[in-house]
Structure 1
Amino acid sequence: MNDVAQRDEGASVPTSREQRAEALLPPVDIFEQGNALHVIADMPGVTHESLSIEVDNNVLSLEGEVRIEMPEGLAAIYAEVRAQRFVRRFTLSHEIDTDAIQARIENGVVHLVLPKKETHRTRRIEVQPA
């Protein structure tokens, strides 16, 4: 893996009984294209309102939550679908311009663009004839 996204910090495990949602580790793909990395995370059911993306001290955190409401008047006999928290953390190298990160979500798929700083971008050097 490219050292720009050095280490996956994984999911944090909820410890409080009040946190009824179980933390899941969403699958993530990381691609490099030109002068940027593209991070694609699958977070089904997460909306832009329930998604939080932060960078703190070069740690990129993606957190989302899906809340399942029990229909009024119904009692569960068997239930597999439940509220879920999605958490993923990556330590970024200093090559990434954290101020220029862009994010969008569509159908539960989060797409981040992590541009490299100007000093770390590939540039072509023109060769002059003698």
Structure 2
Amino acid sequence: MSLVPRGSLFDFDHFFDNFRTPAIFSDKEGGHLVPRIEVKEKADQYLISAELPGVKKEDIHVTLDNGVLTLEAESHQEDKEEKDGKIIRQERRYGRFSRSFNLGSDVMDSDINAKFDNGVLTLTIPRHELPPPTSRRIDIS
């Protein structure tokens, strides 16, 4: 129970609620949620991990198009009726997001392995050696 009236100068519990977080510290990018991503490049593969708390496996879509890997996901807000009280503050994030990575032409979609465990999506993307460009002299007749 708070003895300080809400909205007063001494209401420290809600003092910082109206300040905006600078964009570099925000979890939003252009109105969309941005998951925390880790990308590792090894000699023979890429490893991408994405934190997706609250997202169901069926709401995650990964595509590879012309060497660009796109990760799309959506988390839904649960609509439930509160019988024993009301929600005073809610800091969970809901929404749709998309991230894209240009991996180049040395990856194939059929080789990508995706695993989703405890809210973390892990993609293992093997790299293939491209044949070196060849050159040959063309005779002119």
**Interval containing the TM-score (normalised by the shorter chain):** 0.5 to 0.7
**Matched length:** 102
1:44 pairs, out of 36, 53, 61, with 53
% identical equivalent positions: 32
Query: Are residue 31 (structure 1) and residue 40 (structure 2) matched?
Result: yes
1:103 aligned partner:
114
RMSD: 2.4
Q: Which string of whole-angstrom CA distances, capped at 9 and with x for unpartnered residues, describes residues 68-106 of structure 1? A: 112136665543334222321111211222331111111
| Richer in strand (by share) | 1
Task: Kindly provide the amino acid, as one letter, of the partner of residue 26 in structure 1.
Answer: P
Unaligned runs of at least 5 residues, structure 2: 1-27, 132-141
2:98 aligned partner:
87
Alpha-carbon spacing, 1:59–1:119, altered in 2? closer, same or farther (3 Å): closer
Unaligned runs of at least 5 residues, structure 1: 1-10, 14-21, 121-130
Q: Look up the SS of the partner of 2:110 in the other structure.
A: helix
Task: Kindly provide the amino acid, as one letter, of the partner of residue 50 in structure 1.
Answer: D
TM-score w.r.t. length of structure 1: 0.64
Largest Rg, 1 or 2: 2
Task: Kindly provide the amino acid, as one letter, of the partner of residue 66 in structure 2.
Answer: N
Larger relative contact order (Cα-Cα within 8 Å, sequence gap ≥ 6): 1
